[in-house]
Each structure stands twice: as structure tokens, then as C-alpha cells.
Amino acid sequence: MPTFPSVAVLGAGTMGSGIAQLCAQAGSTVFLFDAFPDALKRAPQKIEKDLAKGVELGKLSKEQAKVIVDLIKPINLLDECKSADLIIEAASESLEVKVELFSQLDDRVGHDCILSTNTSSLSVTQIAAKTKYPHRVCGFHFFNPATRMRLVEVVAAHQTDKSVIERIVAYAIELEKTPVVTKDTPGFIVNRVARPYYGEALRALGEGLADHMTIDRIMREGGGFKMGPFELMDLIGIDINFAATSSVWEAYFRDSRYRPHLIQKQMVDAGFLGKKSGRGFYDYSAEGK
Amino acid sequence: MNAELELYPIERILFVGPLEDVLPLADRAKQAGHTPTLLLAPAEIEEGRKRTRIRILGENEHADADGFDIAFECYTTDVTSKYEAIQYLEDAFSGEAPIITLTLTSALCDLLTDAAAPDRFVGVSMLPPFSETTLAELTKLDSTDPSIFATVESLFESFGLKIATVGDAPAGVLVRAVACLVNESYNALQEGVAPAADIDTAMKLGVNYPHGPIAWGQKIGLARVEAIMDGLYNWFHEDRYRATPLLRRAARM
Ligand SMILES: NC(=O)c1ccc[n+]([C@@H]2O[C@H](COP(=O)([O-])OP(=O)(O)OC[C@H]3O[C@@H](n4cnc5c(N)ncnc54)[C@H](O)[C@@H]3O)[C@@H](O)[C@H]2O)c1
């Protein structure tokens, strides 16, 4: 029996669908909720496709895949998840959205139910403070793609009970993840410690020390990084990366250590968002290839 | 590389700097078939002779351009020795033999403000420890002699290193970024965000870094990371490059 037999995932986008799949793979019943019916329709299809790939590769049987799919129950009303033992909120990155969802659940779910959020950049402490029982709120931060990336950050807000963290850590292990517990500080561990990788590369580019291709090559060939900072920003999305930097910078009272770079903003302004828009620091259009 | 440039000889190389840093570089030179010689601080000569059979100049021996084709100055944390070594090499190496200087803590132009012939210098930034270095970032000034630069490129290639040419700033591109990553990981550690081992795990699994930044700092040498941060701070005068107090303390232990 998993630590949380019944889980509700709120938000069925990129992260939510992956997280729902993981929880079902661990044997939990998963209520999947999204405010937009389209997303709710797409997520199970995406999960089925991913599992089918697993079947093809011999990682699991057809029957096992079916069991997993059947454990995922798309729901149209938030009320339908009130029996859940764990809420994993993975809706859009907005304080209002997250607070609104949690406040709707405050008195509907059981007292022992944990409210966790997959937020990358918001303060979990701030979200918790807006709920009725802040001690049961924590961060449960997965990485993209959630089904493949081994790390999860378990974020202890100022108000979080120790036992809440312990149970989330235990569940993360059941999800076959490597959990690390982190204090609720801007960017937690990864999104904060990684800032200089992008920031210094952007500054080196801005200072004219080298072009972006040379900088990428230096980082790969000299540093052993799998991807150079500019390739990586293109993959993540320059807008997403810029937003992450801006949010850590703002949250640390504009400490110059995290200051975003004008180059990023101009790329975003121009709509050059990276791979997804066909053009970022590199050209991904047909002619660019 | 310009094929028409005439290169200087690179066979007899004089390495000047701390034993720990010059030894792996001299080993590479030897493997590449060159003839390295070390010029160490007097206090390190004895230890050096115990650790290597590569020739080490005695306390009263002098380096001169007749004996060497090229010199490589490798101080990082010890700024006083660095300036002294640069001046010594300029005086001892009359003529035009190339001099390479490590630019981990200063920009090349900063090191050469008092140089009589800055055109014979090439700056290099490489990620320590030098036994594991895979790439050299070379820096020239506008006035750098192209033949000298091409000579230094060929030397680093002979060491089996990849080469990049970058503009002039302390710590080039890679070392600057890695030092800032290490510094930021100490900053997180100082705030109690997570224990050191968890920070390293998170960075390896969350963003595929080749090493956890805390362990990486120890590998590079914390005193050196601190010196690089201070070098960046002195160059940019920006708060962004302030070394984390916990890093400073750890570097002294
Ligand atoms: N994408 C990543 O790389 C990544 C990584 C880690 C964490 N996160 C975090 O995960 C969360 C989700 O990100 P994503 O990339 O999956 O975004 P997404 O846009 O793919 O998915 C968000 C989903 O939330 C739904 N939604 C919006 N408002 C809602 C509401 N009020 N109730 C229910 N559903 C609602 C949207 O319809 C959408 O399907 C964000 O907090 C984000 O910061 C993202």
C-alpha cells in the first residue's frame, strides 16, 4: 500500500500529467483535475502513449499499463477529490491560482490530508499562510519531465510540520525518486544554485568575451556540462528561464547576484523563445538547420 | 591558425608557480615530448625534488632566454608572487620569447600594466585541478604579436587540450561560471537551505551537473575559488561577485 493510497493532482499540464502517471505507477489512485476540459482530455492520452512506449521497450506489461491508466480518474469538479490523502497542486504558476485552489480544499479534505505544491518559484510559506491549516502545506517540486528526472525537492515552509515532510519523503522514494529536503528559500536548491550558469554566460556574451556558440562549447568541452547554457536556455524556453531568474532576483530583494540580463529580455520581447518558437540563441527553423 | 605565421620554438618550457599547479602542467609538457623545467619558491624546491624528476631550478640558478623557448607563469592566489614572477620573466627573458600567464584572478591587461613588452604575453584561463583540465581559454591583447599567439595555441594543442579564444576578463568564461556556481552553493549552504551532500545531489540529478558544486569547489581548491571571486569583484566592482563568508571561512580551514 503506498503512503498515500489516494492522491489528487490539480492541473493536468506538462507537470501534472507526468506526476499523475508517477503516482499511479506507485499504486495510488489519482484524481486528476484541471480547470480546462481540453487539458483533462489530453493528459490521459499523453500518459497512455508514454506507457505504451514502456510496453514496447519491455519495461512493463500491457496489463500493468492498463492497471496504471485505470488508476487515473479525471474529475471535473474539485469536490470529487475530497477523499484524497495528498493533494499535489501543479496548476499554472500564479499565487492567486494556487491559493484559490487550496482555500477551496481547506475544509473539504480530511484533516490529515497534505496540501503540496509543485511551484518552482513562489514562496511556499506565503501559500501556506493563506490556508487554514498551514502546518500541512509543503512544496513537492518535480523536474521536467517528471517521469524521467530522478530528483524531487521537498520544500519545508516556515509553518510545515516535520511529520508532513517525512511522509512526503517516504512517498517520493515510493515514486522511485531521490528526494532532497530544502528550506523554503527562493529557487529552493536547483533553481537558485544554477542561476550563475546562465547569468555568467549571458554576461560573458554581453561583454563580448565570446559568442554564444563558443561559450556553449567551452562549458561542454571544458566543464563537462551536458549542454551549454545557451542551448539549455533554448530548450527550457528563454521566457521560462527569464521568469525564473526574475523571480529569484525579486524574491532576494534584487540582489545583484541574480539580476537578469537585458539580452534575455530582448529575446523574449522579440518572441525568440528558443526551440519551441523555432528561434532562440540558435535557429531551429528549416533553413537554420 | 594562420598558416603563414612563423611559430616560435616550444621545446624548452619554464613553468613558474606553486608546485601543486606547475607539476601537472609540466607532466603534460613532458608527455608531449617537450622539456619542462620548474621555477619554484625556495620553500618548495626540496618537496618538488622529492615528487618529480623534472628539472627544478636551484635557489641560485637563473632562468634566461638562452635556456628556454617559452615561459608559463601559473600563480593564482598569491598575487604578490604573480607580479614578481611576471617581472622576473620579463627581465630574465630578454628577447622575444613568448610568456604565458594564468588569468584566473586578473584580466591580462591588469597583469601587464607595468610590462615593458606586453605584446609577448598571452593569457590563459583553465579549470583547476590542471591534471584534469580539458580546455584552455586563451586571451590576447590588441597588441599581442600574432606569431606569439599562434605559438601558444600550438603549445596548448600539444598538451592535448581543446582551445578557445576569449576576450580579456578575469577567469575567462568557464572558470568564472564555475567559481560563481561554487560560491552560490556555499551561499545556499550558509543559509541552511540544505546540507552540502543534498545540494550536490540536487545539482547532479536536477540539472545533470558533472559534479556537485560543493564537491567541485573542494576539487578546485576553496582558497582558489575565493581568490577567483575576489578577482572578479576587483574587476567588476559588483556586489554580485562577493565571496560568501562561509566560503571564506572554509577556505581557511
Ligand atoms: N514545466 C516545468 O519545467 C516545471 C518544472 C517544475 C515545476 N513546474 C511548476 O509546475 C506547475 C505547472 O507547470 P506546467 O509546466 O505543468 O504548466 P502547464 O501550463 O503545462 O500546466 C498547467 C495546467 O494548470 C491548469 N490550470 C490553470 N489554472 C487552473 C486552476 N485554477 N485549476 C486547475 N487547473 C488549472 C491549466 O489548464 C494547465 O493545464 C507550475 O507551478 C510550475 O511552476 C514546472
Domain ranges for chain B? 12-165, 174-251
- Mark yes or no for CB contact A180/B239 under 8 Å: no
Please give the C-alpha separations between residue B230 and each of A158, B44, B114, B191, B237, in angstroms, as whole numbers.
34, 26, 21, 21, 10
B167 to A178: CB separation less than 8 angstroms, yes or no = no
Residue with cell 630578454: B94
Considering the domain architecture, whether residues A178 and A217 belong to the same structural domain is answered as: no
Residue A176 shares a structural domain with residue A205? no
- What is the CATH classification number for the domain harbouring A243? 1.10.1040.50
Tell me if A285 is assigned to some domain. Answer: no
Q: Does domain B174-251 have CATH number 1.10.1040.50?
A: yes
Question: How close is the Cα of A238 to the center of ligand 1, in Å?
Answer: 17
Annotate chain A with DSSP letters as a single string.
--SSSEEEEE--SHHHHHHHHHHHHTT-EEEEE-SSHHHHHHHHHHHHHHHHHHHHTTSS-HHHHHHHHHHEEEESSGGGGTT-SEEEE-S-S-HHHHHHHHHHHTTTS-TT-EEEE--SSS-HHHHHHTSS-GGGEEEEEE-SSTTT--EEEEEE-TT--HHHHHHHHHHHHHTT-EEEEEES-TTTTHHHHTHHHHHHHHHHHHTTSS-HHHHHHIIIIIH--SS-HHHHHHHH-HHHHHHHHHHHHHHTTT-GGG---HHHHHHHHHT--BGGGTBSSSB-STTT-
Q: Are residues A177 and A49 in the same domain?
A: yes
pLDDT at A127: 98
The residue whose grid cell reads 496548476 is: A91
Q: What whole-number distance in Å separates Cα of residue B50 and Cα of residue B37?
A: 15
Cα(B18) to centroid(ligand 1), Å: 53
In a domain, residue A110? The reply is yes
E strand or H helix at B206, and its extent? helix B196-206
Q: What is the CATH number of the domain that holds A80?
A: 3.40.50.720
Query: Which of these ranges, A211-215, B5-9, B60-64, B244-248, has the smallest mean pLDDT?
Result: B60-64
Domain membership of residue A119 (yes or no) is yes
Across chain B, what does the average pLDDT equal? 95
How many domains, chain A? 2
The answer to whether B134 contacts A224, with C-beta atoms less than 8 Å apart, is: yes
Report the pLDDT value the prediction gives residue B2, as an integer from 0 to 100: 55
With a pLDDT cut of 90, the percent of chain B lying above it is 90
Q: Can you tell me the ipTM of this complex?
A: 0.97
Where does a domain end: A132, A150, A183? A183
Show which of A183, A198, A227 is a domain's final residue. Answer: A183
**Residue A288 is assigned to a structural domain of this protein:** no
**Which of A218, A225, A231, A255 has the highest number of chain B CBs within 10 A, making it the mutation to test binding with B?**
A218
Among A9, A14, A78, say which to mutate for ligand 1: greatest number of ligand atoms within 8 Å of CB.
A14
The preferred substitution site among A87, A92, A276 for testing ligand 1, maximizing ligand atoms within 8 Å of CB, is A92
My answer on whether A197 and A158 are in the same domain is no
Give the Å distances, CA to CA, from A246 to A235, A258, B74, B120, B210: 18, 8, 38, 44, 26
Nearest CA to ligand 1 atom 31: A97
Cα–Cα dist B130/B146, whole Å: 26
CB–CB of B35/B155 below 8 Å? no
Q: Quick one: pLDDT band at residue B60, thresholds 50, 70, 90?
A: confident
Q: Sign of torsion, CA B13 B14 B18 B23?
A: positive
From A108-122, B78-92, B152-166, the region with the lowest mean pLDDT = B78-92
- pLDDT the model gives residue B3: 60
What are the cell numbers at B72?
608559463
**Mean pLDDT for the stretch of residues A233-247:** 97
Say yes or no for a CB contact (<8 Å) between A255 and B239: yes
Residues A92 and A12 in one domain: yes
Class for the domain spanning B12-165: alpha beta
B176: chain A residues, CB-CB within 8 Å:
200, 204
Q: Count Cβ atoms below 10 Å from residue A161 Cβ, excluding itself.
A: 17
Nearest residue to A114 via CA among A12, A2, A23, A8:
A8
Strands A86-89 and A114-117: parallel
Q: What are the grid coordinates assigned to A114, written together? A: 497534505
Looking at the fold, whether A75 and A137 belong to one and the same domain comes out as: yes
Q: Are residues A175 and A195 in the same domain?
A: no
* pLDDT value at residue A9: 98
My answer on whether A15 and A95 are in the same domain is: yes
Q: Give the end of a domain, one of A116, A148, A183.
A: A183
Shared-domain flag, residues A121 and A41:
yes
Tell whether A39 is covered by a domain: yes
What is the C-alpha to C-alpha distance for residues A213 and B69, in angstroms, rounded to an integer? 34
Partner-chain contact B177 A226, CB within 8 Å = no
Band of residue B92 on the pLDDT scale cut at 50, 70, 90: confident
Distance from residue A119's CA to the centre of ligand 1 (Å): 8
Residues A59 and A140 in one domain: yes
Q: What is the spatial order of strands in the sheet that A6-10 belongs to? A: A72-75, A29-33, A6-10, A86-89, A114-117, A137-142, A151-156, A178-183
Per-residue DSSP letters for A171-211? Answer: HHHHTT-EEEEEES-TTTTHHHHTHHHHHHHHHHHHTTSS-
Catalytically active residues of A are 120, 141, 153, 191
pLDDT band at A187 (very low <50, low <70, confident <90, very high): very high
Q: Is A12 in the pocket of ligand 1 (CB under 6 A)?
A: yes
- Provide the 3-class DSSP secondary structure of residue B73: strand
Of residues A189, A196, A224, nearest to B181 (C-beta) = A196
Please check whether residue A240 lies inside any domain of the structure. Answer: yes
User: Residues B81, B24: contact at Cβ < 8 Å?
Assistant: no
pLDDT attached to residue B87: 93
Asked if B156 and B134 touch (Cβ cutoff 8 Å), the reply is no
User: What is the pLDDT averaged over residues A43-66?
Assistant: 96
Q: Is the CB of A122 under 6 A from ligand 1?
A: no
Interface with B, mutate which of A143, A188, A193 (most B CBs under 10 A): A193
Distance CA A115, CA A127 (A): 10
User: A13 alpha carbon to ligand 1 midpoint, in Å?
Assistant: 5
Comparing C-alpha atoms, which of A285, A179, A282, A188 is closest to residue A244?
Answer: A188
Instruction: Scan residues 166-185 of A and list those with Cβ closer than 8 Å to B.
Output: 178, 180-183, 185
Residue B36 has pLDDT above 60, yes or no: yes
HSE of A237, CA atoms in CB hemisphere, 13 A: 8
Distance from CA of A104 to the nearest CA of B (A): 30
Same domain, A27 and A165: yes
**Cα B49 to the chain's mean position, in Å?**
22
Distance B81 CA to ligand 1 centre (A): 55
Residue bearing cell 537551505 = B193
The predicted model gives A153-179 an average pLDDT of 98
**Chain A positions in Cβ-Cβ contact with residue B134 (cut-off 8 Å):** 221-222, 224
**What integer pLDDT is reported at residue A170 of this predicted model?**
98
B180 vs A contacts (CB less than 8 Å): 196, 199-200
Omega before A5 within 30 of 0, i.e. cis: no
Note whether A218 contacts B: Cβ–Cβ < 8 A.
yes
Residue A189 has pLDDT above 70, yes or no: yes
Q: The domain containing residue A264 runs over which residues?
A: 190-280
pLDDT tens, A17-32?
999 999 999 999 999 9
